[in-house]
Amino acid sequence: MLRDLAKGVSGEKAFLLGNEAIARGAMEGGVQIAAAYPGTPSTEILETLAQASKHLGIYVEWSTNEKVALEVALGASICGLRAMASMKHVGLNVAHDSLMTAGYMGVRGGLVIVSADDVQAWSSQNEQDNRFTAEQAYIPVLEPSNVQEAKDWTADAFELSEEFNQVFMLRTVTRINHARGDVTLGKLPKERREGIFRKDPSWLTHVPTTARKNRSLMIQRFKKIGQAVNRLPHNRLELVDEAKLGVIACGLAYAYTLEAIKWMELEGKVSILKVGTTHPIPADLVKRLLSSVEEVLIVEELEPFVELHVKAIAGKENITIKVHGKDLIPLIGELSTRIVTEALAKLTKSKPPIDFGRLDQLREETAPLIPWRPPALCPGCPHRASFYIIKIAAKSVVKNHDLEPIYPGDIGCYSLAVASPLETVDTLISMGASIGIANGLAHVVKAPVIASIGDSTFFHSGIPPLINAVYNKAKITVIVLDNLTTAMTGFQPHPGSGFTATNVKTTQLKAEDVAKGCGVQFVEIVDPFDLKKAIDIVQRALMFEGPSVVVFRRECTLISLREKKKRGEKVVPYVVDAEKCTQCGMCIKTFACPAIVKKDKNYAIDDFLCTGCGFCAEICPYEAINLRK
Amino acid sequence: MVREFNTIIAGVGGQGTILLAEILGEAATIEGLEVKGSETLGMAVRGGPVFSIIRVGGEAHGPLVPEGKGDVLVGLEPTEALRNITYLSKNGIAIINTRPIVPYTVPLGLATYPHIKNILETLKRESRKVIALDATKLAKEVAVPVAANMVMLGALAGTGKLPIRNETLKRVMRAHFSREIARINIKAFDLGFEVGRDLTERNQRPEHPLPRVSARGKNQNLVLCTRVGSPHSFNTQQLS
C-alpha cells in the first residue's frame, strides 16, 4: 500500500513501513534530489519519494546502478542541494569508489547515504556490515532503533551533514527497513534551493595535491564530530548507582535489549548506554560507563564494530574491565530478545524467564513435519521457459562430447533457477558477475559457458564484462533474460523499460542494441515461449566462434496478468487430458511450474495458478495438455 | 491500556499475509495504540514462507515477537503456522486456515507434506486453544478464495482477543481498497468473525453439545474443526 507521504500533516500519526519512514524523514530533512538502484531491503525508500516527488517538487530517479546514484547525489550536494542516495548493503560496494573520495570532499548541501544492511541475508548474497565501509571513508553513522527514529534521524542526518560538512550514513538493517510502527510526522520545510556550481578545483578535482589537502581537512572534521557525538541526543547514558553490569546497545539491538532487561527483571539494576552514532562512538559516555561498572556487554548485530572501539577506549584509558560482546552475542544473523535475554542470564548467573531449551526441542520435533518450501519462479514465468530451452540447447551441443555445460548466473528472480529441476545457475556472486565469471571460465575450460543475466542487472553492471569478452575473445554465450522490469524488487523501471521512476516517458534502450554496440557479432532476440525457434537460436549461439548474445524477451507474467485484468480479459487455463496423460511426469521433472500439481498418481493443472501460457502443453510428449474449452 | 499484545501471521507468498498485517497495524494506530512489527520479504515472496508481526502496546519495543511470547498465531497455511510455533506462548491461541498449499518440492519427491491432523495436534499441545477453519473455502463461498486472509482476520477478531474494534478494521479496508474490493473483503471478514466467535464460544463452554454451526445460517459445511483431540472434536471431510 504505497501512499503519498508528502500529504501527511505535522503531528499526525501514521502507521509506516521503516522505508516509508526514512522517505518521510528525507522529506522533512529537505531532500531535493534522491537517487537509488532497487535492492532489498532498501527499495521502498525511493518508491515512496517518487510518489511524493511531484507534490514536493523534488527530483527522484532510479539510477542505472548505486555508483551512479551516489554520484547523482554528490553532484547535487556540490551545488548546495540536500541529496540522498539509498541502496542495499552490497550496493554500497558498487558505489565504493566514489564513496571513498566523497568522504575526503565533504559536502555543501547535506548528503545522506542510506545503507540498508540485509542482516540474515534474507535476500542477499552476504550479510556484510557497512559500518566498516563508513569507517574507512570517515563517514559518521546513525543507526536507528525503531521506525520513529528511522524517520527522525534521517531528517537529523541532513542537518548534521551540513553542520559538520561531511557525508553522513544512515545505516539500517532489514528489521528497520521492513519494520512497521506508528510514527508521529514532523514538519515539511518550504525552502527550495537553487543549484549553483562554483568552480573550485582545489576542492573538487582530486589530483594528488587536492587529495592530500582534503584528507587532512577530513580528519579535522571527523575529530570535531567525535567530540560532538557525546552531546547528541542519539546517544543516551543511563547510569544506575552501584550497578555492576553495563550494557551498550547499538541501533536496533537497543530495542531487543530493553525488552530483555524487562523480561529478566533487571530494570534499575544495570546501566545502559544507547549508541545511536555507532561511528564514531561517543567516547566520553563510553568512558563514564566503563568507569562505573565491573563488566560490560556490547549488543550489536553482525561484526564487533562498536566492541572493538570500546576495547580500544578501555585500553587507552587504562580501565580494567571485562568487555563482553561477540563471546555471548552471535556474529551470524539477526539478533532477538531471546538472544539478549540469554546473554544477560549468563552474565547475571540467573535463570532465563522461560525454558528456551524446550522451544529448541519443539523446533526440532516439528522440523520433520514442515515441508521444504523454497521460493520458486511464478507460474507462467518466462524465465522458467528460457532456462528449459537453454538447457536443452546446451545438452544437444555437448552430445557426443564428454562435456557438461556451465551456467554462471546472476542476481534477480532468475537466480531461483538454481533449484531443481532447472539447475542452471552454477555461480552467483554479485551483480553482473555472471558475464565476468564466464570470461574467466572461457579461458580455462572446454565446456560451453552460458551466462544468464536479467535486463536490469545487464544495464547495472553487465556491459563492461561483455565488452571484455569481445575485446579478449572469450567464447561465451550471454543470455539476457529481458522481462522489461526489475521484477525481483517489485517492478521498478530501468533503462530498458521506456519510462522513469516518476513515470516520465523516456528512450527505451534495448539490450540487443547495446550488445551490437559493444561489438558482439552474434546477437539474436527471441520469445521464450517460442520453443523450437528459441532452441535453434541458442544452439547457433553456442556454435558461434566468439561471444554471442541471445535476448529472451517477454514481459514479466505478473505485469501481463495485471494488464489483462485491467482490460477485463479472462485467463484461460490449461487442463490435463487424463486419457492421454501417461503419468510420465516429464512436466514436473523437467519444468516444475507450480501450477502443475500431482494428486495421488494423477497430474492436473491448478486453474487458479495457471496463467494460460501454454508452455507445458508444448513440452508434453503425449500432447495431453490442452487449453480448457 | 494494552501493555503487550503479540500477533504472528504466517503464510505463503501470494496469500496476503502482509496485507493482513498492514490492516491490523493501521487500525491499531487509529485506535491510538503503540504499534511495532515487521515482515519478511525479498526472496520469500516468490511462493516461499512469509511472516508478518504486529505488536501492540507500550512494552513492545522490538520488531519481532520474542520466542514464547506470542498471544496469537494466525496461520494462513497450516505448515507455515507450524514453522513459527516457537513464537507462540503456552497461553496463546492459534488460528489456522486448514487449506494446505503444497510446495513444488513435494511432487518432485524432495519433500513430504504432513497430515493436517498432526499439525493441529502439535499446535493444540503447545497452545491454549486452536481454532481451525477452511478459510479458503469460506472465502470462496462469499467472495473469492484470495479473500481467505480477510476471513482469517475476521476469525482473529471473533476470538475477542484483539484490542481493536471491528469498525476500525473495516474503516481501514474502505480507505485502502476500491469500493467493490472493500465490499468483498468486509463480507469475508464478517463471515470469519462469526466463525471465529462461534468456535471461541464453543471452546469456552465445552459442556454444551456441539451443534453443526452454520455460518450464514444455511451452509452446513462451513465451520470445520475445533479442539482437535478434545472430547468434543469433530473433523470434516476436508480434514480426513
Summarize the confidence of residues A472-497 as an average pLDDT.
97
* Span A622-628, average pLDDT: 97
pLDDT band with cut points at 50, 70 and 90 for residue B238: very low
Intra-chain end-to-end CA distance of chain A, in Å = 37
CA of B60, closest CA in chain A: separation in Å?
A: 7
CB-CB neighbors (< 8 A) of A354 in chain B: 68
Instruction: Identify any residues that bridge with A525 across adjacent strands, giving them in sequence order.
Output: A551
Question: By C-alpha distance, which of A251, A61, A228 is closest to A153?
Answer: A251
**Phi, psi values for residue A378, rounded to 5°:** -65, 160
Answer yes or no: do A182 and B118 touch at CB < 8 A.
Answer: no
Asked if B175 is an interface residue toward chain A (Cβ–Cβ < 8 A), one would say no
Rounded-to-5 percentages of helix, strand, coil across chain B: 40, 20, 40
pLDDT reading at B235 higher than 90: no
User: pLDDT tens digits, residue range A275-301?
Assistant: 999 999 999 999 999 999 999 999 999
Residue A90 CA to chain centroid, in angstroms?
7
CATH number of A236-367: 3.40.50.920
**What per-residue confidence (pLDDT) applies to B45?**
60
Partner-chain contact B35 A181, CB within 8 Å: yes
pTM here? 0.95
Task: Scan for cell 569507517, then name that residue.
Answer: A135
On the question of pLDDT at B81 being above 90, the answer is yes
DSSP SS3 for A527: coil
Q: Which residue ranges make up each domain of chain B?
A: 5-205+221-233
Determine the Cα–Cα distance for residues A223 and A402; give it in Å rounded to an integer. Answer: 63
| CA A381 to chain centroid | 22
Q: What is the pLDDT of residues A538-594, one digit of tens each?
A: 999 999 999 999 999 999 999 999 999 999 999 999 999 999 999 999 999 999 999
DSSP state, residue A458: I
Asked if pLDDT for residue B228 goes beyond 90, the answer is: no
Q: Is B109 on the interface with A (CB under 8 A)?
A: no
Task: Pick from A3, A15, A185 the residue to mutate for testing the B interface (most B CBs within 10 Å).
Answer: A15
Say yes or no to pLDDT of A424 above 90.
Answer: yes
Helix (H, G, I), strand (E, B) or coil at A568: coil
d(CA A264, CA A253): 16
Which among B26, B23, B24 is positioned nearest to B7, based on CA atoms?
B24
Asked if the peptide bond before residue B66 counts as cis, ω within 30 degrees of 0, the response is no
Contact residues, A window 333-362, toward B, CB-based 8 Å cutoff:
334, 336-338, 341, 354, 356, 359-360, 362
CA distance A193 to A183: 28
What is the reported pLDDT for B43? 61
| Pick among B15, B54, B67, B116 to test the A interface (most A CBs inside 10 A) | B67
- What are the start-end ranges of the E strands in A487-611? 522-526, 548-553, 574-576, 596-599, 602-605
Element of type H or E holding B232: none
Shortest Cα–Cα distance, B189 to chain A (Å)? 19
Residue of B nearest to A419 (CA): B105
How high does pLDDT run on average in chain A? 97
Residue A559 three-state SS: helix
- What is the rounded distance in angstroms from the CA atom of residue A594 to the CA atom of residue A609? 8
Contact B122 A366 (CB under 8 A): yes
| pLDDT at B143 (0 to 100) | 79
Grade residue B239 by pLDDT with cuts at 50, 70 and 90: very low
Q: What percent of chain A has pLDDT over 90?
A: 97
Check pLDDT > 60 for residue B218.
Answer: no
Q: Which residue of A has its CA nearest to B21?
A: A180
CA distance A430 to B51: 27
Structure confidence at residue B220 as a pLDDT band (50, 70, 90): very low
Q: How confident is the model at residue B240 (pLDDT cuts 50, 70, 90)?
A: very low
Q: Is the pLDDT of residue B203 over 90?
A: no
Instruction: Decide if pLDDT at B211 tops 70.
Output: no
Residue pair A256/A339 in contact by the 8 Å Cβ criterion = yes
Q: Which amino acid is at A432?
A: G
Q: Is the N-terminal amide bond of A280 cis, ω within 30° of 0?
A: yes
Judge whether A454 and A466 are in contact, CB under 8 Å: no
pLDDT given at position B44: 53
Query: Which chain B positions have a beta carbon within 8 Å of A359's beta carbon?
Result: 67-68, 86
Q: What is the pLDDT of residue A4?
A: 82
Judging by DSSP bridges, how do beta strands B49-56 and B35-39 pair with one another?
Answer: antiparallel
What number of helices (H) and strands (E) belong to chain A? 23, 21
Instruction: Give domain limits for chain A.
Output: 5-228, 236-367, 382-564, 570-627
Yes or no, beta carbons of A371 and B62 under 8 Å apart: no
Regarding the domain delimited by B5-205+221-233, which CATH topology (the fold level of the hierarchy) does it fall under? Pyruvate-ferredoxin Oxidoreductase; domain 3 (3.40.920)
Are A382-564 and A570-627 in the same CATH fold? no
In the prediction, which pLDDT does A600 show?
85
Nearest residue, CB atoms, B62 vs list A337, A366, A420:
A337
> From the centroid of its chain, how far is CA A180?
18
Please give the CATH number for the structural domain made up of A570-627: 3.30.70.20
B201 Cβ neighbours under 8 A, 6+ residues apart: none
Interchain contact, B145 vs A371, CB within 8 Å: no
Answer yes or no: do B46 and A378 touch at CB < 8 A.
yes
Percent of chain B with pLDDT over 90: 74
The lowest-confidence range among A28-32, A504-508, B230-234 is: B230-234
State residue B144's pLDDT score: 85
Interface test mutation site (partner A, options B4, B6, B18, B46, max chain A beta carbons within 10 A)? B46
CATH of span A5-228: 3.40.50.970
Q: How many CB pairs under 8 A join A and B?
A: 183
For residue A37, give the amino acid letter: Y
Residue B208 confidence class, pLDDT cut points 50, 70, 90? very low
B116 touching A (Cβ < 8 Å): no
Question: Using one digit for the tens of pLDDT, what is the confidence trace for A237-262?
Answer: 999 999 999 999 999 999 999 999 99
Which three three-digit cell numbers place residue A185? 510526522
Cα(B44)–Cα(B4) distance, integer angstroms: 28
Q: Give the number of other Cβ atoms within 10 Å of residue A25's Cβ.
A: 31
Cβ–Cβ below 8 Å for B113 and A363: no
Going A146 to A147 to A153 to A157, the CA torsion angle's sign is: positive
- Cα dist from A582 to A244, A284, A338, whole Å: 74, 76, 53
Mean pLDDT for the stretch of residues A341-347: 98
Would you state the pLDDT for residue B1?
A: 78
For residues A486-508, average pLDDT: 96
Q: Cis omega (within 30 of 0) on the bond before A421?
A: yes
Query: How do residues B16-63 score in pLDDT, each as one tens digit?
Result: 999 999 999 999 999 999 999 999 865 656 788 999 999 999 999 999
| A111-124: pLDDT as tens digits | 999 999 999 999 99
Candidates A334, A413, A596; nearest CB to B46: A413
CATH topology of domain A382-564: Rossmann fold (3.40.50)
Continuous segment of H or E residues that includes residue A66:
helix A66-78
A599 and chain B: CB distance < 8 Å anywhere?
A: no
Please report the ipTM that was assigned to this predicted complex: 0.94
pLDDT tops 60 at residue B210: no
DSSP structure string for A165-185: TS-EEEEEEHHHHTEEEEEE-
